[in-house]
Structure 1
Amino acid sequence: MNKRKKILIIAVILLIGVAFFIIRAKRQPNTAMALPTVKAIKGDISSKITALGNVETRQKQEVYSGIQGMVEYIAEEGQQVKKGDVVLKIDDGELKLELEQAQSKVKQQNVELSRLLGGPRPEELKKARIKYQEALTSYEAALEDYEKNQGLFNEGAISENEYINIKRELDVKKNQLAIMEVELSLLENPDEHEIALKQAALEEAEKSLANITKKLDKTIILAEFDGIVIKQEIKQGMTVSSGNLLLSIGSPDDLQIDIGVNEYDASNIKVGQKAIITGDGFGDKIYKGEVVKIAPSASTIQTSRGNETTVKATIKVNDPDENIKPGFSTTAEITIEDKQGAVLLPLECVISGEKGKKVMLVKDGAISEREVKTGIENELYTEITYGISEGDEVLQNPSANSSFEGDA
């Protein structure tokens, strides 16, 4: 056999061997070969939501000016106050003068109405009757004088000017008699219309008095609880208008953080969930918190990324101290769910498809699919609740190898 035939025979044998191994490999399960793998471990896992917010006092009293006037006293920013302490006083000098005048007017209207309703005193009635009688006597005398001089005027015995003066005197006496007659009639028989007018005047005077009293009440504002003045908007001696915010009082021992939770995470937030609070204002210090309130509705806010729908949630700071202050910006990390001793795999080990989830199990050098169910996830790991046990080995990133892709 020559050299050329030997080479040909060897080549055929090699081809047959390669074909044999290829056919055998296809009939056997996948092998791990040099693909990276990872083992399932047991550990603690938690799912968290992170949101930004500002520190505020849970108890807050905002003091507004109820009237216009000069600030006579205002508590200083940073000042400690006790419940019931005066924190604001507006000058009340003019209002006190108005109060005295209003009180006098109410008293006067009460007296006049009482006279109408209760009838006149005997001496008042006697005096009115005397005045009426005097007016009647004067009128009758003037009438007699007029009638006598009228004939003289007709005869030309007196001048026209004298006659006019006599007639004018009669008119004056007649008017005086009419006035006295009305006054006496009111005393003897009070007019219902007059009573109604006096009652209306009294009501108006009482309303004016009540309004001034309310204004006086607004000149002094008291602290509603023990706390500290966290903001002062105006200084002593300045004049303020009604409705101006003058100062804010809060309790530094009772703090909260209001956050906006993205609408996609909002359904996971529950009252009672724990939170970790961090912020640049207090360095490496970490505070503990708890979700105490969730808004019943969402709102849309404008952000650098456009409109964003969020739900407001309130976190109570459980361990406040002098380092965390109202106004500080913070980051709150809320624990949505946690579990101890869970079976864990890196996120990239799990393949998701329309039919469910699976991993590529590696056992005795062979690779096979294994259906799994998952629970809590975080940014690195997922909890395996079914299909894999602690110590089981799986491909680390099966999706990176096209031969393992596909629906589960």
Structure 2
Amino acid sequence: MKRTLFAIALLAVCSNSLPVSAKPGSSSDEEWNSQSVIKTHQSRVETIDVQEISSNIPGKIVEMSVTRRGQLVKKGDVVVRLDSALVESQLEELNARADSDVLIKYAETTLKEETLTMEEYIEANRRAQEKNRTPDYGRGEMRRQSLAIERADAEVAKSKEERRFAGLERETKKVELSQYVIKAERDGIVSETHKKNKGSTVSQGQPILTIENLDRVRVVIMVDPELDEKIRIGDKVLVRRQFRERKKIDPKSFRQLEGEAKTDPSRTLVGVVTYIGAYDSSLDDRFEVEAEIENVLVSDKHYFLRPGLNVEARIIPASK
């Protein structure tokens, strides 16, 4: 009994996984050939999520981990480094200023000296008064010494403030330095390098790399106008890759003949209708239907669906 229940549970798990990538002979294969399925015309694959990697600052590329189209990158990967020697030198100087207390100690020592001098003046004048003599230090000298103490006290405050400002400048410089390291913001595949490589100079905002996330793609499908009322947002869509046979030579004209389009039944991806467009008079009033498809990474190198590949799509209308 336990073995039977386990087998039933395992079958249920496998059935739930079929819509993502179904093999011939499965339920998706049956759906593909169903009488109720809506057959469509040419379909194309488009990217939904595209990241244009550029620099917020001008500079020279000193490191570029991505050198060719088709490379896969992960979110957070460092893809480009710009020459940051000058900024690093400035940051080192700010670190020294922000961490040093030499100026503060010097100002505090000066304040102690001026305070001690004032105490000596006061003590000398007190002894002179006890002996009924004229004070050794008059009002002018006492006032000047009082100002010297205020100046020394201000120097202490100034040195502390300068150290605080150096700390703030250091944080700002760290942010500036981070702009010299450019990371990928998402997983994806490099579709364009814009002819940039190590040693290239880039200006602010100039594209360096284009990364496309192919985990989810859009398939644009052309549908005949009489099928308009049958399609709704959320309808299921089946997609298979399509290929053409090798072109043959016409034995009479010796010209190449267009190869016949065939559909690869080895894998079926499933998605849903997300958009229904307007009629296009230039295409016999056919209209566009867009579907979003969960893509599959078939190896460590490439995805099953990629922009530019020929695909065939079939729509399964929801039962009313």
TM bucket normalised to smaller: 0.5 to 0.7
Identity among equivalent positions (%) equals: 19
State the one-letter code of the partner of 2:210.
Answer: S
Consecutive unaligned residues of structure 2, counting only runs of 5 or more, are: 1-32, 122-139, 247-260
Pairing 1:268–2:232 present: yes
More strand by share: 1
Aligned partner letter, 1:45:
Q
Deviation string for 1:325-381 (max 9, x for gaps)? Answer: 733154542222499xxxxxxxxxxxxxxxxxxxxxxxxxxxxxxxxxxx9xxxxxx
Residues 201-216 of structure 1 correspond to what in structure 2 (within 5 A)?
Answer: 204-216=165-177
Contact 2:241 2:309 in 1 (8 A): no
Distance (Å, rounded) in 2 between the aligned partners of 1:273 and 1:294: 10
* One-letter identity of the residue aligned with 1:284: K
User: Deviations 1:93-114 (Å, cap 9, x if unpaired)?
Assistant: 1110121233234346x776x7
- Are the equivalent residues in 2 in contact too, given 1:229–1:250 (CA < 8 A)? yes
In 1, distance between residues paired with 2:178 and 2:150?
A: 45
Matched, 1:219 2:180: yes
Contact 1:72 1:91 in 2 (8 A): yes
232 and 177 in structure 1: CA distance in 2 versus 1, 3 angstrom threshold: farther
Shift of the 103–250 alpha-carbon distance from structure 1 to 2, 3 Å rule, reads same
Contact kept? 1:58, 1:255, Cα under 8 Å = yes
**Partner Cα separation in structure 1 for residue 279 and residue 149 of structure 2:** 77
What displacement does 1:69 show?
Answer: 0.9
Count of aligned pairs between the two proteins: 246
CA deviation string 1:9-47 (max 9, x = no partner)? xxxxxxxxxxxxxxxxxxxxxxxxxxxxxxxxxx95124
Could you say what secondary structure the match of 1:230 adopts? strand
TM-score by length of 2: 0.54
Contact preservation (8 Å) 2:233, 2:273: no
Determine the C-alpha separation between the residues in 1 that align with 2:272 and 2:200. Answer: 40
Matched residue SS, 2:262? coil
2:150 pairs with 1:185: yes
Give the 5 Å matches for 1:3-18: none
How far residue 133 of structure 1 moved from its aligned partner, in angstroms, is 9.4
SS, match of residue 73 in structure 1: strand
Change (3 A) 1:332 1:198: farther
1:94 corresponds to which residue? 86
Aligned counterparts of 2:60 and 2:212: Cα–Cα separation in 1: 25
Partner of 1:46, secondary structure, is coil
Q: Indicate if the aligned counterparts of 1:51 and 1:331 stay in contact, CA closer than 8 A.
A: no
- Bigger radius of gyration, 1 or 2? 1
Q: Is the 8 A contact 1:279 1:328 kept in 2?
A: no
Partner of 2:62: 72
Whichever residue aligns with residue 289 of structure 1, its letter is L
1:121-170, CA deviations, whole angstroms, 9 ceiling, x for partnerless residues?
5x5344224777999xxxxxxxxxxxxxxxxxxxxxxxxxxxxxxxxxxx
Q: Is the 8 A contact 1:66 1:215 kept in 2?
A: no
Change (3 A) 1:67 1:53: farther
- Are the counterparts in 1 of residues 222 and 286 from structure 2 also a CA contact under 8 Å? no
Show the counterpart of 1:244: 206
Within the candidate set 113, 125, 138, 1:127 is matched to: 113
Contact 2:53 2:184 in 1 (8 A): no
Q: CA deviation digits over 1:158-194, x for unaligned, max 9?
A: xxxxxxxxxxxxxxxx8x9977542312556x69xx9
- CA RMSD in angstroms, aligned pairs only: 5.2
- The answer for the alignment partner of 1:104 in structure 2 is 96
Contact 1:51 1:259 in 2 (8 A): no
Pair 1:326-2:316 in alignment: no
CA spacing shift, 1:285–1:333, aligned 2, 3 Å: closer
Residue 294 of structure 1 corresponds to which residue in structure 2? Answer: 274
Give the aligned partner of residue 401 of structure 1.
none
Q: Residue type of the partner of 1:128?
A: E
8 Å CA contact retained: 1:49, 1:265: no
Which consecutive unaligned segments of at least 5 residues does structure 1 have? 1-42, 136-173, 340-374, 376-408
Q: Distance in 1 between matches of 2:305 and 2:239?
A: 18
Please, what TM-score do these two structures have when normalized by structure 1?
0.44
Task: Answer whether contact 1:257 1:316 (CA < 8 A) is retained.
Answer: no
